[in-house]
Every structure is written in C-alpha cells, then in structure tokens.
Amino acid sequence: MPRDHDNELATFLRGGERHLADFLMLGFVRCGTVTSEDGRQIKMEIAEAYAARTRTVYGVFFDERVARIGARKHDLRGRFISFQSSVNDRLINETGCADTPTWEAKAWMTLLDTYGMGVICFWEPDLVKVGGGGGLLVSPYLTIENALLERHHPILNRQWFR
C-alpha cells in the first residue's frame, strides 16, 4: 500500500513524541541547522568542526521530533550540500531532474514554515571488532541507521528500511 505523505505530514504537525533527547543520550551531537531565508529554498549548514566526519548516522529534527534519518560513508557536509541542492532544485522546478520528489521538497518547506528551523545531529559510532582470528574492525553505522528507521519511521525518509 503506498504511503500517504500528506497525512503523515499532517500527523507530524499535530505534535507527538519528542526524540531529540533520546538521540543525544545515544551519542548524537548537534552539528548544524536547516533554515529558509526567503521562504522558497532551504539552507543546510554544518559546523566546520564536524564537516569532515565519515561513517556517520544523522538525524534532522523539527520541534525535537525526528523528521529524517540517514547514514553517510563520506564527509557529512557533502551529504547536506547534496540534500540542499536537490531539494532546492525540486522547489524551483517541479518537473526538473532533482532526486528529491516534489512531496518531500514541499514537506521540508512546510516544516520550516511551521517551526522556523531544523536541527541536524550526527553520531560517528565506534568501530566494532568482528570475525575470528585477527578480527576485522567495521563501523556499525548502517545497522544503526536501519534500527532507527524501523523504530521512528521519519516523515522525510522515502523508505523506512534498507
């Protein structure tokens, strides 16, 4: 059954559980913001101290409620530069070639119109030793992303599983 994005957004706007404190207790760190200076495009900024972090799990929060969860193998700033560009391309030209669907771009703007600002947080989990013998160090960032997606079903994620 297809998702009803309009209903999900309306439900989010009515309020609900706030999860930002839970994410911060897990080890997430506030690292940036989502804003709109002109009411027509979004602006995503990551603090310089965190811009180059890799193998991260991130969340975007509005009113302390999670709206987007993701993971990034490469630098954190690159993820949000890409998001900003794709969302803005879709907002400017609904029929363009942006990766972001129209419903998602409009939802970003609705959240910004309603709350004024979003907070970006990330977690760079410790490497985990797996396997026998000498062992192998791996980052569990994708596993953590999957667990958070399944638990929270963020409204700005296109799918809730990988």
Q: What is the pLDDT of residue 25?
A: 95
How far are the Cα atoms of 10, 73, 94, 103, 107 from residue 7, in angstroms, in the given order?
Answer: 5, 32, 21, 12, 11
In this predicted model, what pLDDT tens digit does every residue of 21-37 receive, in sequence order? 999 999 999 999 999 99
Q: What is the pLDDT of residue 17?
A: 86
pLDDT of residue 102 exceeding 60? yes
Q: What is the pLDDT of residue 110?
A: 97
Supply the pTM of this predicted model: 0.91
Q: What is the pLDDT of residue 95?
A: 66
Q: What is the pLDDT of residue 48?
A: 97
pLDDT of residue 45 exceeding 60? yes
Q: What is the mean pLDDT of residues 65-76?
A: 96
DSSP codes of every residue in the chain: ----HHHHHHHHHT-----HHHHHHHT-EEEEEEE-SSSSS-EEEE-GGGTT--SEEEEEEETTEEEEEEEESS-HHHHHHHHHHHHHHHHH-TTS--SS-HHHHHHHHHHHHHHS-EEEEEE-PPPEEESSTT-EEE--HHHHHHHHHHHH--TT-S-S--
pLDDT of residue 160 exceeding 70? no
pLDDT of residue 94 exceeding 90? no
Q: What is the pLDDT of residue 96?
A: 65
pLDDT of residue 19 exceeding 80? yes
Residue-averaged pLDDT of the chain: 92
Which domains, from first to last, does the chain contain? 5-152 (3.40.1440.40)
Conformation bin of residue 69: beta by default, left when phi > 0, alpha when psi is -120 to 50 = beta
In this predicted model, what pLDDT tens digit does every residue of 135-145 receive, in sequence order? 889 999 999 99
Displacement of CA 63 from its chain's centroid (Å): 14
pLDDT of residue 161 exceeding 60? no
